[in-house]
C-alpha cells in the first residue's frame, strides 16, 4: 500500500448526539452517583469508555438481518444461521445461545464444578470469577510473570504460565474439572495469548484428561495480534487463525457483545454431547429454549453477521490501530499505561501515576473519577475495588491498580481519540493533587457495580498551594 494512514473503514449512516456538561454539573452528578461511575446517567457522559461490551455500532448488514429475524419459539431460521456462523468459526459440535457471556459461564459452572474445585485461567474476568466462586470453587489466576508488570513490553502478555498450570494439574488430581484461557486477557490489560502458548496449554490439559475452554469474547482481536506478531501467521486470514485457536479447546464461552459486534448475546459451544445435554437443561431453567437461549430471533441474526464482520482485516487493522494511536500519544507524554496497548482498551497504571495513594484508598478508582470530572470521560476501575474483596470477606490489594478505557466498536472517530488524549494528559499533569476515596457501603459480590464511595480527604483534588 502507498498510503500509510489507517482510516475508519466505514462511513456513518446514523448519528447520535453526545452532550457536553459543565464541570459543576459533573461534580453534582458524581455526588449523586455515590462516586461510582456505574451509577451515572449515560447522557451526562461525553465520551463513554466504561466498556466495549454491547456498546458497538451495528452495520447496515446487521440491521438488515434484524428485519429477517425469525421469532419462532422453536427451530427458528435465525437460530440455524447463528449456529452455522458459530460452527464455521469455532468448529464445535454443539452451540447453545445465551443472553450474554455470564449466562454461559453460570451454566458451565453449574454442570462442571463442585465446592473446593480449582479452575485455573490466565486471568479470570470478574463475572467468570464470581460464577466459579458462587458454586464454592476456587478461581486461580496464572498469568505469566510479564503479565503482572504493566510497563514491560512483551508480544503475548496474555499467556498462561505453563509451568504453574502443569504444577496445578499435577498437585490437584481430580480437583481441576476445567482450565480456561481468556482471549484476549481482559483483566490483564487486553493482552493477547499466542498460538504456541495455547497449543502447549491444550497439550497439558489433554495429558491430564482435563477439558480446556476458551473465554473467547475477543477471539478476533486475539487472532489478528497473532497474525501481526507470531511467526508463521502473517499470510493466514483471521478466520483461519481463529479456527486454529478454537481447535485446541474442547469448548468456549463467549460474550458476543464484544467480538460478536452485537448489543446483546453470547453462547456456550462445546464438543462433549453429554455435557451439552446437561447444559441445555440448565439453559431451559433460566435462559430459554435451546434454539433461542434468552435472545430474540433478530439478535441471533445480528450475531450471525457480526461474528463474521469481526474477522474482516480492514476492520481489525483499524480497531487495533485506534487503541494503539491513543497509547502512542500517552506514552509520548509520559502517562504510564499497560504496555503494549491492548486490543480493545488502554489501561492506565494508577499505581505508577499515583504512588502517594495507598491501595486501601483505591488509586485507580480515584483516577477514574477525576477523568470524568475533568473531561466527561467515563472509564472503569480494574483494581482493588473490583478485585480486592476476598470470598472470606477479607480485603487484599489487587495485583494491579488499573483504569481501563475500553473502546466501543465502530463508534468513535480519530478526533474523539485526540480529545481523549488531551484530557488524559491534562489529568496526568494534576496527578500530585489527586486524592484517595473510601467505600461507604458495598454488597459482598461484584461490589464495584453498586458500591457507594466518597473522597477520603474531603475532595478528589487537593487545593493548589498558595491560591
Binding site for ligand PLP (CB under 6 A): 53, 100-102, 125, 127-128, 182, 186, 215, 217, 255, 257-258, 266
Cβ–Cβ < 8 Å for 251, 268: yes
What SS3 class is residue 383? coil
Which residue, 255 or 384, is less far from ligand PLP as judged by CB? Answer: 255
What residue number has its CB nearest to ligand PLP? 101
CB of residue 393 vs ligand PLP: minimum separation in angstroms? 24
Which residue, 293 or 376, is less far from ligand PLP as judged by CB? Answer: 293
159 burial type by CB count under 10 A (0-12 exposed, 13-18 middle, 19+ buried) = buried
Cβ–Cβ < 8 Å for 119, 177: yes
Cβ–Cβ < 8 Å for 86, 92: yes
Phi first, then psi: what are they for 427, rounded to 5°? -65, -35
CB of residue 409 vs ligand PLP: minimum separation in angstroms? 13
Which residue, 172 or 286, is less far from ligand PLP as judged by CB? Answer: 286
> Look-up: residue for cell 478508582?
365
CB of residue 187 vs ligand PLP: minimum separation in angstroms? 7
For the packed helices 60-67 and 297-309, what is the interaxial angle rounded to 10 degrees? 150
CB of residue 249 vs ligand PLP: minimum separation in angstroms? 14
Which residue, 260 or 336, is less far from ligand PLP as judged by CB? Answer: 260
Which residue, 181 or 364, is less far from ligand PLP as judged by CB? Answer: 181
Separation between Cα atoms, residue 30 and residue 360, nearest integer Å: 20
Q: What is the dihedral of CA 80, 83, 85, 91, to 10 degrees?
A: -140
CB of residue 270 vs ligand PLP: minimum separation in angstroms? 16
CB of residue 257 vs ligand PLP: minimum separation in angstroms? 5
CB of residue 123 vs ligand PLP: minimum separation in angstroms? 9
CB of residue 342 vs ligand PLP: minimum separation in angstroms? 11
> Look-up: residue for cell 453429554?
274
Half-sphere exposure (Cβ direction) of 307: Cα atoms closer than 13 Å:
26
Separation between Cα atoms, residue 159 and residue 193, nearest integer Å: 5
Q: How far is CA 314 from CA 93, 164, 256, 270, 309, in A?
A: 30, 37, 20, 30, 10
Which residue, 187 or 384, is less far from ligand PLP as judged by CB? Answer: 187
Which residue, 53 or 78, is less far from ligand PLP as judged by CB? Answer: 53
Cβ–Cβ < 8 Å for 110, 135: yes
**Partners of 270 in beta bridges:** 94, 251
Which residue, 227 or 258, is less far from ligand PLP as judged by CB? Answer: 258
Amino acid at each position: 500500500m502507498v498510503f500509510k494512514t489507517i482510516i475508519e473503514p466505514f462511513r456513518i449512516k446514523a448519528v447520535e448526539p453526545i452532550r457536553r456538561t459543565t464541570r459543576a454539573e459533573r461534580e453534582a452528578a458524581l455526588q449523586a452517583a455515590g462516586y461510582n461511575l456505574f451509577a451515572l446517567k449515560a447522557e451526562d457522559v461525553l465520551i463513554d469508555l466504561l466498556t466495549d461490551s454491547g456498546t458497538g455500532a451495528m452495520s447496515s448488514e446487521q440491521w438488515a438481518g434484524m428485519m429477517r429475524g425469525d421469532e419462532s419459539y422453536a427451530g427458528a431460521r435465525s437460530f440455524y444461521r447463528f449456529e452455522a456462523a458459530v460452527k464455521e468459526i469455532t468448529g464445535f459440535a454443539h452451540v447453545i445461545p445465551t443472553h450474554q457471556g455470564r449466562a454461559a459461564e453460570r451454566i458451565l459452572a453449574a454442570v462442571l464444578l463442585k465446592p473446593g474445585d480449582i479452575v485455573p485461567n490466565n486471568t479470570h474476568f470478574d463475572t467468570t470469577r464470581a460464577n466459579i466462586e458462587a458454586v464454592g470453587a476456587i478461581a486461580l489466576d496464572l498469568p505469566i510473570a510479564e503479565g503482572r508488570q504493566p510497563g514491560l513490553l512483551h508480544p503475548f502478555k496474555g499467556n498462561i504460565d505453563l509451568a504453574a498450570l502443569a504444577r496445578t494439574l499435577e498437585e490437584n488430581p481430580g480437583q481441576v474439572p476445567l482450565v480456561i484461557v481468556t482471549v484476549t486477557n481482559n483483566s490483564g490489560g487486553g493482552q493477547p495469548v499466542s498460538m504456541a502458548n495455547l497449543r502447549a496449554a491444550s497439550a497439558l490439559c489433554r495429558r491430564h484428561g482435563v477439558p480446556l475452554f476458551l473465554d473467547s469474547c475477543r477471539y478476533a482481536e486475539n487472532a489478528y495480534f497473532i497474525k501481526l506478531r507470531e511467526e508463521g501467521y502473517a499470510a493466514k486470514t483471521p478466520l483461519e487463525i481463529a479456527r486454529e485457536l478454537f481447535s485446541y479447546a474442547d469448548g468456549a464461552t463467549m460474550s458476543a457483545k464484544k467480538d460478536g459486534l452485537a448489543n446483546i448475546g453470547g453462547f456456550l459451544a462445546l464438543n462433549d454431547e453429554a455435557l451439552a445435554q446437561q447444559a441445555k437443561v440448565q439453559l431451559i431453567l433460566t435462559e430459554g429454549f435451546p434454539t433461542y437461549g434468552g435472545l430474540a430471533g433478530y439478535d441471533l441474526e445480528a450475531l450471525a453477521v457480526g461474528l463474521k464482520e469481526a474477522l474482516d482485516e480492514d476492520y481489525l487493522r483499524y480497531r487495533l490501530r485506534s487503541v494503539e494511536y491513543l497509547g502512542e500519544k500517552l506514552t509520548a507524554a509520559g502517562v504510564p499505561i499497560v504496555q503494549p496497548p491492548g486490543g480493545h482498551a488502554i489501561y492506565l497504571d494508577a499505581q505508577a501515576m499515583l504512588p502517594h495513594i495507598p491501595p486501601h484508598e483505591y488509586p485507580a478508582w480515584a483516577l477514574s473519577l477525576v477523568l470524568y470530572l475533568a473531561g466527561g470521560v467515563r472509564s472503569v476501575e480494574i483494581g482493588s475495588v473490583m478485585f480486592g474483596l476476598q470470598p472470606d470477606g477479607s480485603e487484599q490489594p489487587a495485583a494491579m491498580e488499573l483504569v481501563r478505557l475500553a473502546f466501543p466498536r465502530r463508534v468513535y472517530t480519530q478526533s474523539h481519540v485526540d480529545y481523549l488524549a488531551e484530557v488524559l494528559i491534562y489529568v496526568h499533569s494534576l496527578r500530585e493533587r489527586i486524592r484517595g476515596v473510601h467505600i461507604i457501603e458495598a454488597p459482598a459480590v461484584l461490589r464495584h457495580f453498586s458500591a457507594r464511595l466518597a473522597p477520603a480527604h474531603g475532595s478528589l483534588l487537593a487545593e493548589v498551594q498558595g491560591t
